[in-house]
Amino acid sequence: MPSVQEPTPSFRPFEKHLLHYGRDFSTDLIVRAQGSYLYTEDGREILDFSSGQMCATIGHNHPKIVEAMARAGQTVIHLDSTMLSPDVVDLTKRLSDLLPEPLNKVQLLNTGGEANEAAIRLAKIATGKFEIIGIAGSWHGTTTGAASTTYAHGRKNYGPVMPGSLAIASPNCYRCPIRHCAHQCDMACLDVGFDMIDATSVGEEAAVIVEPIQSAGGIIVPPKGYLARLREHCDQRGILLIFDEAQTGLGRVGELFGFEDEGVTPDILTLSKTLGGGLPLSAVITSDAMAKTARENGFSHYTSHGSDPLTATVGLAVVDVILESKLAERAATLGKYLMNRLCELQYRHKAIGDVRGRGLILGVEIVADRITKEPGHELIKALSERCYQLGLNINRVGGPHSVWRLAPPLTISHEEVDQAIDILDHALEEISPAA
């Protein structure tokens, strides 16, 4: 009888009919998720420090989400997108009430890419202009407009992007993009960036789109005052400002919204991952004046699942839990605790070049050499695999650099934070030399 060879990681039987759409699939099938944990088919327990795809804001399978889904299943799941359910109306009001004036007009959509697509279309039709300025290292989605302003990765070999796509440097204080600052950013990258926009634009700048903290780009936290100066540059030129708060919105950064840290209000705001709690739900939010102008100019952004009742019901439950359980405040407190624990690891392990972030979206940059800051691509891969074997799931981000994104559910406990730190410490001790 011929021997049966075990399938290799490059081919597993369950992948036979799956189209690969990016990174390799995980080696395990996940059969259950609860709170901060994932459970594999063979019974392993994995602490999830990525909150799914950054979407399980209040933990996996939160009882309030399950309850909301059941309730929607007994009332209405889907309607024509011109028909509204009470929960759709209530959620738009709830979001408007949480935001500063003049942000009070809401469209509910599905994914972050779709919300950013709508935001770009809204900016174009409201201004009559077509140039959209992004930030190097950004991630806004994979639909045409959103992909054209995405610079973290995924740009190669797809042909021309949307006409009018411009970019300025990322405010990466650990790796100054203009080789200018060391330890003390003076935001020259932003000023020089707009000098270049002035030099290269054809005078049709509609909007700048930016994440208050870049996530896929490597957890890049702009220096204090950056968003305010960005607002000034936009206002001087009559350019709209779009904040993509897919990952920073609704509590993750220790405040309800990332822009609150500087008190800079955007012209258009997009929300997504943190709003649906694991279901596809996003929103684009703007002002009465912007909405009026866009409608007069013929704004259209129909989708088959716009204003879906089921996801709106879940979105209300997510917002309720975040507010009632004070999860933004919890993210601020636990984020500081996690940051301190990570800095302890940095002190003892020279593979950690930098620790940064805010609230419960933190980055750990892995380097091959602390002096040269050479990225530790192979090192972070080996460390991540070992962490997973030990029961910790973390994402790698950072484009050309090697960064762990630590973003557990906002419901994470101190004990679970300590468990993650112990696993990170164990993996670093095994694989990388001590500091």
> Pick the catalytic residue: 231, 356, 358, 405?
405
> Pick the catalytic residue: 105, 231, 252, 273?
273
> Pick the catalytic residue: 139, 255, 416, 419?
139
Question: Is 308 tagged catalytic?
Answer: no
> Pick the catalytic residue: 214, 247, 346, 419?
247
> Pick the catalytic residue: 48, 87, 131, 244?
244
Instruction: Look at the alpha carbons of 385, 387, 388, 390 in this order and tell me if their dihedral is positive or negative.
Output: positive
CA distances to 66, 85, 246, 336 from 308, rounded to whole Å, are 17, 8, 19, 37
Question: Is 405 tagged catalytic?
Answer: yes
Amino acid at 361: I
* Sequence-ordered list of residues with C-beta below 8 angstroms from that of 272, at least 6 positions apart, any chain: 111, 112, 115, 246, 281, 282, 283
Q: Could you give the dihedral angle defined by the CA atoms of residues 43, 48, 52 and 53, in that order, rounded to the nearest 10 degrees? A: -140
* Helix spans in 58-111 (H): 63-74, 86-98
Tally Cβ neighbours within 10 Å of residue 185: 20
Distance in angstroms (rounded) separating the CA atoms of residues 418 and 414: 6
> Pick the catalytic residue: 48, 87, 114, 211?
211
Question: Is 273 tagged catalytic?
Answer: yes
Distance in angstroms (rounded) separating the CA atoms of residues 282 and 18: 26
C-beta of residue 166 within 8 angstroms of C-beta of residue 135: no
C-beta of residue 208 within 8 angstroms of C-beta of residue 240: yes
* Sequence-ordered list of residues with C-beta below 8 angstroms from that of 345, at least 6 positions apart, any chain: 352, 364, 421, 424, 425, 428
CA distances to 123, 125, 289, 300 from 293, rounded to whole Å, are 10, 8, 6, 12
Question: Is 244 tagged catalytic?
Answer: yes
Q: Which candidate, 222, 217, 223, places its Cα nearest to that of 401?
A: 217
Q: Which sequence positions are flagged as catalytic?
A: 139, 211, 244, 247, 273, 405
